[in-house]
Amino acid sequence: MVTHPMGTAFAQRGSSGWRQPTATLTGTVSRAGSFARPLALRPGDAVAVVAPAGPFDRPSFEAGLAVLASRYRVLYGEGIFARTRYLAGGDGRRLDELAAALADDGVRAVFAARGGYGALRLLSRLAPKLAGLRPRPVIGFSDITALHAALQAAGWVSIHGPVVTQLAGQPLEVAERLFRLLESPGEPALPLPGIPLVAGVAEGPLVGGNLSVLTRLLGTPHLPPLDGAVLLLEDVGERPYRVDRMWTHLTLAGVFERVRGLALGEFTDCEEPGGDHGSAEILAELAAETELPCVGGLPIGHGPVNQPVPLGARVRLDAGAGRLEFLEPAVGP
């Protein structure tokens, strides 16, 4: 059994090797529009780290754990270091680990160790397990977009933010913002600056995440609620024509007819070597075609700064000013 050295001792439960603290979760769930906000954390609370997608680099994992352990009591199961090809162990292992963390009343938040690929494979079996559970923050991005979508489909607020292996490489302000998000029930997140692309103002719950993952959810029951939403999109390593292709897929599926505005994060390493066009140019053209208020260049995603934001919380997108404002806190009292 493995726990972080800065964490606490936990009592074993069940055959999955999961450990839980003796404290129990109390309080009530508050609502953010149609999305349920999880309860706020306090310093010293127990949080779980899971690997629902790809395997990860051990040194960056340990460095990220140290950041979390400076604020919370960190726990994780022994199977988290499993590797099966490009996955962090088999689907059953990853699903059991995630479901145990989400169902454990002693766990106040769940952090993804890494993205990569694999969360999509869990959705059909995860969705029934969410019924009746008390929401708690789930933190991650990239491939974890699949889990966020399932959580929004179930009516939960969750946190699009750094995975554990990314956390130590981020500026200190990112961890500080994350801790404020998790611990401040009466305080919405601070606004984020971006680049005006299509003027206008839009309000609605923030949904979305990684463009590549989101397009894979079209036609499935796991797409997040889009009607009246502000859609967040970011990606990495996709050439401009592939960004165009995925964006066109969203257009053909009617996504841009359902949402009210577009919040574009970083599109990192998406340039064509030697090309005569860039991803920023393509995104600006595609956004203009939607005629939706749009802000680009938000510090969200795979870039050097990945600011955490609450998915499911209401936001105000002032595209003329290049500003994403948060109207509700991520957590409740």
The residue extents of the domains of the chain are 11-183, 192-326
CATH of domain 11-183: 3.40.50.10740
CA proximity to 292, closest of 317, 328, 321, 313: 317
CA distance 128 to 120: 15
Cα distances from 32 to residues 4, 44, 175, in angstroms, run: 33, 26, 23
**Three-state secondary-structure class, residue 79:** helix
| pLDDT tens, position by position, 195-235 | 999 999 999 999 999 999 999 999 999 999 999 999 999 99
Q: What percent of the chain has pLDDT over 90?
A: 86
Please indicate whether residue 97 is annotated as part of the active site.
no
Query: Choosing from 234, 238, 266, 328, which is the catalytic residue?
Result: 234
Please indicate whether residue 234 is annotated as part of the active site.
yes
**pTM exceeds 0.85, yes or no:** yes
Please indicate whether residue 124 is annotated as part of the active site.
no
Query: Choosing from 148, 160, 222, 302, which is the catalytic residue?
Result: 302
Query: Choosing from 30, 142, 158, 279, which is the catalytic residue?
Result: 142
- The CATH topology of domain 192-326 is Glucose Oxidase; domain 1 (3.50.30)
Q: Please, what is the average pLDDT of the chain?
A: 91
Tell me what pLDDT residue 277 has.
87
CA distance 63 to 76: 15
Phi, psi for 215 (deg, rounded to 5): -65, -30
φ/ψ bin of 59: left (φ > 0), alpha (ψ from -120 to 50), beta (otherwise):
alpha
Tell me what pLDDT residue 92 has.
97
> Which residue, chain included where needed, has tokens 């050439």?
239
